[in-house]
Structure 1
Amino acid sequence: MNAEPATPSPAEDDSPAAPTRDAAASAATSAADRSNPADRLVTTEHSIDLPGGPLRYRAVTGTVVLREEPEGGEYGRASAYAEMFSVSYLARPADGADGTAADTASRPVVFAFNGGPGASTVWLHLGVLGPRRVVAGDAGSPVGPPWGLVDNPETLLRDADLVMVDAMTTGYSRPVPGAKHDRHHGFAADRDLIASFVVDWLTRHDRWSSPVHLAGESYGTTRAAAVAARLLERYWVAVAGIALISPVLDFGTLEFTAGNDRPFVHYLPTYAAIAHAHGKHEGRLLQDVVDEAEAFAEQEYPALLAAGLRLGPEQVAEAAARIGALIGVDPDWVERADLRVEHMAFLAELLRDQGLVTGRIDGRFTAPAGDRNAAQMETDPSIDQLAPAYTGALNQYLATELGYRDDVVYEIMAGRVHPWSYQDFEGRSVEVATDLSRLLRRSPHTRVLVSHGYHDAATPFHASEHVLAHLQIPREVAEQRIRVEYYEAGHMMYCHEPSRLALSEHLADLVRGAVGAWSERSDGV
């Protein structure tokens, strides 16, 4: 990656009010500046070598101030309420191209965010989407310090401009001075904030003609579906595409609460896949194991759980033996669990005889157990082994290559967002399947890519399959505009090199509008 000297921000398609690089990159800002918030942006020029030639691009990094009209009957000028941090990557015209405004305006733009709630967008940013990516390693071979970055020839910037935005209190995003963080810590407020950011960005960059795409991971998929609906219903912005990476569209399908048997059913195929990764199905193909587990989860398992005490001892023992064989654990343990295997318990049990716990974000990862008798895993080895590389690389990248520094900590994972408000769903499951269904009915050109990791014990693929199969849309809409893909990795499947390459190509298909790829998808709803 070749980085050219930083340039002042007021240049061509950048924000007209952006300060110079020196102002934006200062290590600290004065109290006076903070009391009167202003955009703090820095622009740098870069290039990356691709097989077809160099890709030149501009990075615009920093915080912009969002403003809102006051509530009530009397109109007043809009006032500042949030400082949102993002990194925008804008492709430059190829040598010999005229680079007209019309050309730029027709180029797709992808707004990407992670989830949590409380996760910054470092994961998608440096894991798969951006022109630079972190070298973090994979299960069994995590990379140690010093952590660094390499060029990403598969970057989605080849096909679309990228905006990596951090939700409130994550990254460098903060409320304006004097305002409280928790105003934004909830489903509806977060949805509205991100939608406002998208509209603000389109206006600042003269990109209202660009096809708009959203890419979310984990809770970011919950956000993406809600934001897409909000953009259409509040601002009449119809997104061209939505990438749902490791999705959660209905929390009721995966939250283990009293009286709710759905998570036990939906997690079982994931348990089987993780058991396969650890040699519990020796000699069998992963797909065969998953197919058997899904068939059991869809046909026999619900009836067994529904029967409850009506099952006789022999029936219980038989069911426990079947489940134990599928998920690689002792049938007696399954029977003691009343045939209901909770995911944190499973991750502690699967490799207990080896003194290991298994990853939740990615079940291929393991670590030594602290208490080998513990009922649940102490910590998640997949996050423990990946997060330091992303943290170190991101902070170094912002300061040295993108020339941006701030006087607060970049929050990779912000526990301060909790408690997260779901007051809009009082008395019912948190879900955005309704939003997604409504959007697909109203917006005939919106297409959806759904990406699942087989070894993801945070957002199990079978739960997502169930929700997608019950969207309130015509069958032909599901067949023609929803594409479902699977990867032999976990929640952040891009840490697995073959999966990263496949996901990159699937995302490119989405923004290219490759209709043929949708009819040839690997699976459907």
Structure 2
Amino acid sequence: MIRKSLLLAAATCFALGAAHAADTKGPTDKTGKKADPAATAAPDKGVLFAPEQADSEGSVTVGGKAIAYHAVAGTIVVHPKGWDDTAWREKSDSDLGDKKNAQAEASMFYTAYFAKGAPSADRPITFLYNGGPGSSTVWLHMGAFGPKRVVTADDSHTPAAPYALVNNANSLLDASDLVFIDAPGTGFSRIAGKDKEKAFFGIDADAYAFDQFIKAFLTKYGRWNSPKYLFGESYGTPRSAVLINELTTDDNIDFNGVVLLSQILDFSLFAGLQGANPGNVEGYVTQLPTMAATAWYHNKIPGGRPADLQAYLKDVEHFATTEYASALAQGSELDPAAKQQIAQKLASYTGLPVGYILKSDLRIDGPAFSKELQDDAGLTTGRLDTRFSGADMDPLSKDADYDPQSAALSSAYISAFNSYVRKDLHFGQDEVFKPSIDVFGPWDWSHATPGAPALKMVGTSVMPDLAQAMKYNPQLKVMSAGGYYDLATPYYQGWYEMHHLPIPAELQKNIEFHYYESGHMVYAHADSARKLHDDVASFIRRTDNISR
């Protein structure tokens, strides 16, 4: 999402959670030197944070059946890589650490829903998170799978408050217990201590924090023997790739499945950044089907739109990976007559003028497409969900200046959650909820491909991480899902990535694909939300290894 998508950032002040009292002198080790305060923290507590918990009860009706649940809104304290509890166990109860010189730690907020009357020890449990990086998980929580859902308009701006919060008939509680997690620094999660951004803001640091959270949660609630799932959306999908590899190969914890919604595992394919790497043409190929779907939706196809969207997109996908990819690969060697022919074909799929396409050298950029498609009407087309449109901010700009879908839905989600979390979950009365934070300055995009730790690269692909986890655990199942109208993480990019994973051919059968007539937030479209629930619930039931 744009909060979750790699573009929008909103920074507010940090509010530290409850902290331990401190020994102002600080503890010392056996040599008399001042000890590292972080090393004296208890495993479930920190020098700066202590875990919190608020319990509540509720009920949700899914498929006509009422499901009573116990909800916990709380925090778990996690430490950055390198911390362990050995030093803490050697300290006395009076050694509490020095807050003024404390090392970095995070208090990660979560909301867990446990179905009552179910054998919880072996009931499936799913860990869910949005992306950004720098986004909270308010979107999946209040729009997709939580027991309450905020009602929003389908493809237009939702009117201002009061917003309707209703029973979510698409909640996943019928198939799994649920844990919605806010990334460090977002939502009600907080980070503090020395070098806190370096400790938690980065591909590897972020995944490690989630790794520590999940293990602590499994211990706290006795769920080590439950069927386990990861569900990540947007940047949550590369997080899942790195995380599942850590859990599988480093921690020896096999998960039953991973769900990747609005997938992006190879950052070089990111729509909108192709101009920064002119030699890489694959991103233009993978985003073309979404542009065609968008032109279809807005009735911009010359000569009228075909009746069958899915069949139409199959034709576009074939053209994109054959004639179009070949033309782009030829670069300046492309024959002018062939270039004209490709431009005309692109115009027939995208609804853009041939002259515009030739001027762009056949390379149609995502933000430029959003600005150009409905330019004659003074409208900007959505990026997260291209079904949405909004008035141009600047009619003369080259690229879209904002995202109409984000503008249309954000207030409803954020307002509804701020009310719900305090009134129903009884958490955060005196705290600020941060839907998103600006992490792009300090974020460390470098990442080492598994097996090559010395080759840490920026803007890399995490496809090898997922591949390694699948090879290490050949029973791991993966579901890739997306919306046809998502121009932030195009649906065909997910298909393309999964078909280029470095895995044995027989492991491809462990991957399934589901696509919907919606955008980045698939669940923002009512029929797609229902189908998404049904597909994910089926995926869990087919892979949880529970005898029925």
Q: Shared fold (TM-score greater than 0.5)?
A: yes
SS of residue matched to 2:447: helix
Q: Name the amino acid aligned to 1:189.
A: A
Question: CA 1:36/1:456 → structure 2, altered by over 3 Å: closer, same or farther?
Answer: closer
Aligned residue in 1 for 2:242: 226
Shift of 1:423: 2.3
Shift of 1:143: 4.1
Q: Name the amino acid aligned to 1:313.
A: P
Query: Equivalent residues in 2 for 1:280-429 (5 A)?
Result: 280-281=300-301, 282-284=304-306, 285-416=308-439, 418-424=441-447, 426-427=456-457, 429=459
Within the candidate set 257, 264, 273, 2:293 is matched to 273
Aligned residue in 2 for 1:212: 228
Aligned residue in 2 for 1:484: 513
Shift of 1:475: 2.2
Structure 1 residues 380-419: Cα deviation after superposition (integer angstroms, max 9, x where no partner): 0011111111100111110111111154421112114543
TM-score normalised by the chain length of structure 2: 0.83
User: Which region of structure 1 is more displaced relative to structure 2, 452-461 or 43-52?
Assistant: 43-52
Query: Equivalent residues in 2 for 1:2-401 (5 A)?
Result: 36-51=48-63, 53-67=65-79, 75-77=86-88, 81-93=105-117, 103-140=119-156, 142-176=158-192, 180-254=196-270, 255-256=273-274, 257-258=276-277, 259-281=279-301, 282-284=304-306, 285-401=308-424
Shift of 1:82: 1.5
**C-alpha separation in 2, matches of 1:183 and 1:514:** 35
Aligned residue in 2 for 1:22: none
Shift of 1:35: 6.1
Shift of 1:51: 4.8
**C-alpha separation in 2, matches of 1:441 and 1:379:** 41
Q: Name the amino acid aligned to 1:504.
A: H
C-alpha contact (below 8 Å) 1:27/1:407 kept by paired residues: no
The answer on 1:458 being equivalent to 2:488 is yes
**C-alpha separation in 1, matches of 2:362 and 2:214:** 46
SS of residue matched to 1:513: helix
SS of residue matched to 1:265: helix
Structure 1 residues 462-520: Cα deviation after superposition (integer angstroms, max 9, x where no partner): 222111111122222212x111011011110101111000000111012212699xxxx
C-alpha contact (below 8 Å) 1:334/1:341 kept by paired residues: yes
**C-alpha separation in 2, matches of 1:437 and 1:192:** 18
What root-mean-square deviation, in Å, do the aligned CA atoms of Structure 1 and Structure 2 show? 2.5
The answer on 1:472 being equivalent to 2:495 is no
Shift of 1:156: 0.5
Question: CA 1:307/1:445 → structure 2, altered by over 3 Å: closer, same or farther?
Answer: closer
Q: Name the amino acid aligned to 1:487.
A: Y
**C-alpha separation in 2, matches of 1:415 and 1:429:** 18
Q: Name the amino acid aligned to 1:369.
A: D
**C-alpha separation in 2, matches of 1:417 and 1:408:** 24
**C-alpha separation in 2, matches of 1:51 and 1:211:** 22
**C-alpha separation in 2, matches of 1:492 and 1:287:** 19
SS of residue matched to 1:215: strand
**C-alpha separation in 2, matches of 1:470 and 1:416:** 30
C-alpha contact (below 8 Å) 1:69/1:76 kept by paired residues: no
User: Which region of structure 1 is more displaced relative to structure 2, 463-472 or 498-507?
Assistant: 463-472
SS of residue matched to 2:161: coil
SS of residue matched to 1:54: strand
Within the candidate set 446, 449, 466, 2:479 is matched to 449
**C-alpha separation in 1, matches of 2:196 and 2:373:** 43
C-alpha contact (below 8 Å) 1:112/1:164 kept by paired residues: yes
SS of residue matched to 2:87: coil
**C-alpha separation in 1, matches of 2:349 and 2:65:** 49
Aligned residue in 2 for 1:496: 525
Question: CA 1:324/1:155 → structure 2, altered by over 3 Å: closer, same or farther?
Answer: same
Count of residue pairs the alignment pairs up: 481
Aligned residue in 1 for 2:5: none
Q: Name the amino acid aligned to 2:336.
A: P
C-alpha contact (below 8 Å) 1:251/1:429 kept by paired residues: yes
TM-score normalised by the chain length of structure 1: 0.86
Structure 2, unaligned stretches of length 5 or more? Answer: 1-14, 23-45, 90-96, 98-103, 449-455
Q: Name the amino acid aligned to 1:55.
A: I
**C-alpha separation in 1, matches of 2:481 and 2:82:** 40
Q: Name the amino acid aligned to 2:229.
A: H
Question: CA 1:36/1:453 → structure 2, altered by over 3 Å: closer, same or farther?
Answer: closer
Question: CA 1:31/1:329 → structure 2, altered by over 3 Å: closer, same or farther?
Answer: same
**C-alpha separation in 2, matches of 1:240 and 1:104:** 16
C-alpha contact (below 8 Å) 2:56/2:426 kept by paired residues: yes
Shift of 1:30: 8.1
Structure 1 residues 290-329: Cα deviation after superposition (integer angstroms, max 9, x where no partner): 1221111111012211222223433322221111111111
C-alpha contact (below 8 Å) 1:28/1:406 kept by paired residues: no
SS of residue matched to 1:242: strand
**C-alpha separation in 1, matches of 2:393 and 2:77:** 46
Identity %, equivalent residues: 34
Question: CA 1:329/1:234 → structure 2, altered by over 3 Å: closer, same or farther?
Answer: same
Structure 1 residues 241-268: Cα deviation after superposition (integer angstroms, max 9, x where no partner): 1010000011122241222111111111
